[in-house]
Structure 1
């Protein structure tokens, strides 16, 4: 208390736990804000949609209760075929049963796919003969010669871009409403540094404009999407690694494959059960050709910028490791870039040492074990591969720096559940999946504090409670290191402080 002055605020923790503010290693705050405006189609534990009839009812009720006129765009978010009782995606025809006079699009919880009704397909000029876009799949039923409505990867992105153009523009007074609501959710999760993990130019401009108006309180690290910003790399370089207000560019994002629970991740061995519309033996597919991926990475490294590569399947991880190794030999990749393979989920034992050899790091997604571990065992990967989802202990034993993340809106912006999953590896059904890959609560907390600060090049000012570091703080009602590990996800964030100013109180 030697530094206490007249303006010093003293807080009695009363047995609660003080920690450095959590740092978001990978999330999508703009996407989360957009999802807040959509109809909630999530299943348990975050929502109530557990079947296709329930999904249809939620959409119908929304249209009826809000007296939505014909022609108005209807958008839902968060449906999950892994959890719904049918274990399949809704079809265009099932969405037609909701409404044939309103275009409808529902996005999958993974963010990698969605389903359109027939009217929306017509409005987008998509027919059975429309070719797949590069890096995407338009769902088609060869038996009936009809569109299924399912849009995957770049087909999904194209659909969402069209959908956004059909939504009414918010009033000036509401322009930043969803972004600020999303920021509050991050603060409620104890996070003081926020990631925009795959940003379109419009998203970046929106966040920067909000900051210029003095509306933002958190620190925002933005990762422009390579495909949408390939001609703007030199422009974004000026904001790289240095904050302008509350915002900096953290690097560039590339996406090499899809999601394992959605069966669009790129694997070396087939899915246990092929996804709808694919033959047994399907292994997913890459978003880019090898040379196109190399060209993109090379362009980023020539700007001296960090890259985050989305790699879920082991084939995608192979591609990422091989290309980064190639670029290291060409002296374009340097260790101080701290490049990241995002998710790194279906990670083989022989791949783990290569992260250290190349000088890169994984950011793992252990919440997958909790939410989709049972699905991975029974339908996606089988026991042997499923147990290796996010093998954190292997990385720890090999002294590989790593972070963990929530990938919101795939899951809520909740890093405490990520810690719970990393420590316990307990699935929804109670099965312990890959117990040999569990880590201690302390090591899991490091992955959302000091390790995450290191990932972003901010370890000198964030990530620990030390003299001369930022006063980014979170107060928890219990100590994650001392409670029963199986109760960690019940811990609550009580208060969050950004630069010493309270930004959240429960």
Structure 2
């Protein structure tokens, strides 16, 4: 018996397929695209049901989020203390906080509602770079919230956190602690700011044991994340750092197996606890659970830290205005020592996996490029598409090398709006800040690229990300890098087919053409018709996933 066919009509279909850029109708069968074109062109495949739900709307390929974290679905279980106003999954807007005193006040209100006096209190979204050049948050500041209860405040970047003295005592940190990333005050005691994984790990372990905190592996977290993603037009997203525990994989499979689950999910294995051949074997075992809606096979290596947290690795002349309390060298921290990068890449490269490398600073990007060059010399492999994630400070010379090696980039374009002013005045200085996230140069050099939000670092919203790359406006309204602006069409390509390419999924998603999954973003407005400065305001009606219609307001 022939499967049923549905023909969707639309005011306009932006296909992202160069051989047929626009259409008015798309035929769907078995969750895949059967045909695209005019009504007459798609009607030759036998009996079909007409669906005019989108007759007054614009269809695009479902947006592809190439660097996000399922934490976006669980962080709202805790207290938002960020600088910017932010909307939670229920629609409530949490006002941003513009001082450490305001952060302390919100945390004190929250802890007063907790019944268990020893349960840790967790805040998130904090970033001291927005508070001027005054003192950074200390353990004494958080002691004002509680002296008995562990209080933990995670930074917006998730590369640093602050704790009170009760937390330091609970994890055994003091003046004799010799872990890199634990700065000390004038008396030799930890300041309460912990930088990067080695320093943060004991606290994260405490939160896991006492507050159920996880990296987003539970089923409810996946659902919460997926609902947020659907509301902004995303149909495929990564979770770009997942330990892939047995329970975590089972939970992700249970969530994505539900026909109502509204996105395709691609978790990337973060091999923090695996060495040698154990990591590739662990990832290979996870791949046995692959389905159309859950794909394993990516690996995430983290080389350096956060630029705004002053823990990223920068080439000379390093930081423009270093606060002097980050790293042992004043130039950030290596999370993966340079001497180990090539061997780590090689262990996954040889097994056919795709490696995504977190490199914020240009020194880290250079180390990654050198390592990939070494690996390819020893183990040639066409079409690997290894990708530099963030790659915020790569220059034209690095991009030229990336093109030669077949490397991709995934730029953190949202950074331009949120931290552009800080990069101009504090981290990079004017010249380097203006070439950060160099999408235009990548186009000229022929480096395939996508763009991302790194949610929960910044909110999910591909159209906002495209707006950032097109306009390059900072929070203050400064145009940061006029020559690195790209056009709307290129920005829309980056959040669809461009990111799909970086995930080796371009044969299945990213454009509306025969054979691909019937995944669409449904828009109220035409993004190619509005003024570029209005791109972020294009309204999302909902999505279609595998032919299943999913309105944004659906519970």
State yes or no: 1:285 paired with 2:333.
Answer: yes
In the TM superposition, residue 201 of structure 1 has moved relative to its aligned partner by 2.9
Q: Secondary structure at the match of 1:374?
A: helix
Q: Tell me the residue number matched to 1:302.
A: 350
| Residue 422 (structure 2) aligned to one of 356, 359, 375 | 375
The answer to whether the aligner puts 1:341 opposite 2:382 as a matched pair is no
Q: Quote how far apart the aligned CAs of 1:245 are.
A: 5.3
Give secondary structure in 2 for the equivalent of 1:384. Answer: helix
Q: What TM-score, normalized to structure 1? A: 0.92
Q: State how far apart, in whole Å, the 2-side matches of 1:367 and 1:217 are.
A: 24
**1:501 corresponding residue in structure 2:** 548
Q: Are the structure 2 counterparts of residues 369 and 468 from structure 1 closer, same or farther at C-alpha, using a change threshold of 3 Å?
A: same
Output the CA distance in 1 between the equivalents of 2:147 and 2:64: 44
1:245-268 deviations in whole A, cap 9, x for unaligned?
521113211000001111111001
Tell me if 1:228 matches 2:287: no
Q: Tell me how far 1:304 sits from its aligned partner.
A: 1.8
Q: What do residues 487-506 of structure 1 show as CA deviations (whole Å, max 9, x unaligned)?
A: 11122211111111123334
State the Cα deviation string for residues 450-489 of structure 1 (Å, max 9, x = none).
1122222222221111122211011122222221111111
Residue among 229, 249, 262 paired with 1:186: 229
Match of 2:399 in 1: 352
For 1:287-436, list aligned pairs within 5 A: 287-332=335-380, 334-436=381-483
User: For residues 59-74 of structure 1, what are the structure 2 equivalents within 5 Å?
Assistant: 59-64=107-112, 66-74=113-121
| Residue deviations 1:122-156 (CA, integer Å, cap 9, x gap) | 01111121111xxx511211x12121111111112
Distance change (3 Å), C-alpha of 1:279 and 1:72? closer
**CA-to-aligned-CA distance 1:358-412 (integer Å, 9 cap, x gap):** 1111111111011100000111110011011101000101221111111111111
Match of 2:99 among 24, 30, 51: 51
Q: Give the corresponding residue for 2:189.
A: 146
- Give the Cα–Cα distance (whole angstroms) in 1 for the partners of residues 292 and 505 of structure 2: 16
Counterpart of 1:167?
A: 211
Check 1:283–1:148 CA distance in 2 against 1; reply closer, same or farther (3 A cut): same
- Note if contact 1:373-1:427 (Cα within 8 Å) is conserved in structure 2: yes
Q: 1:197 aligns with which of 240, 245, 250?
A: 240
Q: Is the 8 A contact 2:154 2:162 kept in 1?
A: yes
1:279 offset after TM fit, Å?
9.2
Distance, in Å, in 2 between the alignment partners of 1:128 and 1:212 is: 50
Distance, in Å, in 1 between the alignment partners of 2:294 and 2:454 is 19
- Whether the aligned pair in 2 keeps the contact of 1:189 and 1:493 (CA below 8 Å) is yes
Work out the CA distance in 1 between the residues paired with 2:522 and 2:237: 18
Q: 1:285: how far off?
A: 2.7
Aligned residues: CA RMSD: 2.3
Structure 2 unaligned regions, length at least 5: 1-38, 87-94
Query: In the TM superposition, what is the alpha-carbon distance from 1:281 to its structure 2 partner?
Result: 7.6
- C-alpha contact 2:396 2:445 (8 A) present in aligned 1: no
User: Which residue of 480, 485, 488 corresponds with 2:532?
Assistant: 485
| Structure 2 contact 416–472 (Cα < 8 Å) conserved | yes
Question: Which structure has the larger Rg?
Answer: 2
Q: Secondary structure at the match of 2:383?
A: helix
Give the Cα separation in 2 of the matches to 1:144 and 1:198: 37
Aligned 8 A contact 1:274 1:281 in 2: no
Aligned to 1:38: 78
Bigger shift: residues 488-497 or 424-433: 488-497
| CA distance in structure 2 between the aligned counterparts of 1:472 and 1:213, rounded to whole angstroms | 17
In the alignment, the residues of structure 2 paired with residue 94 and residue 293 of structure 1 have an alpha-carbon distance, to the nearest angstrom, of: 38
Matching of residue 11 in structure 1 with residue 53 in structure 2: yes
For 2:229 and 2:189, the matched residues in 1 are separated by 42
Q: Structure 1 residues 297, 485: CA separation in 2 closer, same or farther (over 3 Å shift)?
A: same
User: Which residue of 1 is the match for residue 16 of structure 2?
Assistant: none
The change in CA–CA distance for 1:93 and 1:369 in structure 2 (over 3 A counts) is: same
Instruction: Report the 3-state secondary structure (helix = DSSP H, G, I; strand = E; otherwise coil) of the residue aligned with 1:247.
Output: coil
Name stretches of at least 5 consecutive residues in structure 1 with no aligned partner.
Answer: none
